[in-house]
Amino acid sequence: MARRKLHKRAFAEIDRGALGTLVFNARKQRALTQAGLAQAIGRDRPWLSDVETGKITHVPDDDLAALAVALSLSPPDVRAAHERTAGRLRTEVPARLPAGPERQCPVCARISPPDANFCAHCGAALPHEIECGRCGRRNPATANFCAYCGRRMGAGLGA
């Protein structure tokens, strides 16, 4: 079986945001691995990687405090970096959100825009739904039949 080549971005290509940059640089200065730092703060390595690369922007206050302690950083500096990252993202949000019902995260119960694929607060995948072409009710994307009118769902039939 042929292996697909993975194109990894160079460090310079990653827009880490203020928090990701602070955590990444402090971790490197202290010669810590992502796994080591993640274990020290009670998180897993993928979560820490997502924080460092700016994929996760909502970091709870207790995690910010744990990062500050583990990296010997000032808690106000860590919070300020988090606010700069969050502020930057708030200014990048489009002025008009897509129409449709808002989506609630199944993990943290926060509300997300209708076209979101992941929760902006905790990073959980948001379930996809499709609209029935007959009755207009929303069904899980994995549904074979509409749960409300019984119409077969599928390519070209759902929406």
State pTM to two decimals: 0.51
Q: Which CATH architecture has domain 14-92?
A: Orthogonal Bundle (1.10)
The domain locations on the chain are: 14-92
4-60 pLDDT per residue, tens = 666 665 656 677 889 999 999 999 999 999 999 999 999 999 999 999 988 888 899
Interacting residues of 64 by C-beta distance below 8 A, sequence separation 6+: 75, 78, 79, 82
% of the chain exceeding 70 in pLDDT: 77
User: Is the per-residue pLDDT at 93 higher than 60?
Assistant: no
Q: What is the pLDDT of residue 121?
A: 83
Comparing 12-26, 46-60, 62-76, 86-100, the range with the smallest average pLDDT is: 86-100
CB 145 within 8 Å of CB 124: no
CB 129 within 8 Å of CB 116: no
CB 108 within 8 Å of CB 114: no
Model confidence band, residue 99 (pLDDT cutoffs 50, 70, 90): low
Q: What is the pLDDT of residue 32?
A: 96
Of 27, 19, 91, residue with least CA distance to 57: 19
